[in-house]
């Protein structure tokens, strides 16, 4: 999992990949920018002799959108950058090949975490942002025999009102909503913090019941 300077440098390598392709100007810019950030981080933190926290300035210097993730079960922090888009589904990755996929901002799949969401049927962002009503959810997991198993839930929404949250040193005015879901012997609550035009600034979403939640916060919005 990504925690220190080495992690930022590895993240920078992924950020480079997001700039590759036909856009040579962007690729060249990223190469120069990442090299400069890498040298500065290494020099500064070696001189300090301690592992200092990753800052918003560190992440912004990568010239890529960045999501900060916190996996509660493992007490771990990860950073992800976008690596691909397939229709409405966008996939983000860490430097050590953990990936999270989103449909319109809502988590639909994970890879590399061990027990993973292979795919999910999820509500739309508009349904969640409404803060009311009910809908269905389905998760698909592989069991120990590599057989796909489906778990269905019925969910209801509730609006918890306005809330100011802090994401890596920056405050955001948001609207907090909860999604409470129930299935066979399992009940869980996802949370979402919407900003502006129903942009999901932060979410706390179930991975698998045994592992609990993955908290995701959008730190840098544009590269």
Supply the CATH number for residue 128's domain.
2.40.360.10
CB count in 10 Å sphere of residue 83 = 15
Top-confidence residue, 214 or 34: 214
Report yes or no on 3 lying in a domain. no
Distance CA 32, CA 24 (A): 12
Q: Are 201 and 172 in contact (CB under 8 A)?
A: yes
Report yes or no on 55 lying in a domain. no
Per-residue model confidence as pLDDT tens digits over 76-109: 899 999 999 999 999 999 888 899 999 999 999 9
Q: What's the domain range around 123?
A: 65-220
Q: How many domains does the chain have?
A: 1
Report yes or no on 35 lying in a domain. no
CB count in 10 Å sphere of residue 122 = 25
Per-residue model confidence as pLDDT tens digits over 102-153: 999 999 999 998 889 999 999 999 999 999 999 999 999 988 788 899 999 9
Report yes or no on 47 lying in a domain. no
Report yes or no on 207 lying in a domain. yes
């Amino acid at each position: 999992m990504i925690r220190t300077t080495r992690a930022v440098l590895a993240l920078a390598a992924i950020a480079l990949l997001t700039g590759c392709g036909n856009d040579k100007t962007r690729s060249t810019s990223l190469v120069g920018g990442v090299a400069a950030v890498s040298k500065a981080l290494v020099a500064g933190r070696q001189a300090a002799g301690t592992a200092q926290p990753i800052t918003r300035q560190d992440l912004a210097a990568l010239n890529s959108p960045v999501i900060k993730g916190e996996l509660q079960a493992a007490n771990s922090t990860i950073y992800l950058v976008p690596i691909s888009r397939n229709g409405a589904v966008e996939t983000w990755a860490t430097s050590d090949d953990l990936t999270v996929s989103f449909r319109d901002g809502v988590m639909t799949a994970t890879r590399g975490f061990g027990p993973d969401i292979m795919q999910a049927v999820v509500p739309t962002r508009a349904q969640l942002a409404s803060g009311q009503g009910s809908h269905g959810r389905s998760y698909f997991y592989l069991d120990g025999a590599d057989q796909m198993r489906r778990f269905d839930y019925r969910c209801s929404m509730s609006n918890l009102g306005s809330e100011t949250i802090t994401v890596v040193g920056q405050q955001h005015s948001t609207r907090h909503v909860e999604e409470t879901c129930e299935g066979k012997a399992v009940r869980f609550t996802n949370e979402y913090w919407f900003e502006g035009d129903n942009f999901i600034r932060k979410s706390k979403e179930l991975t698998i019941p045994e592992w609990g939640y993955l908290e995701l916060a959008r730190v840098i919005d544009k590269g």
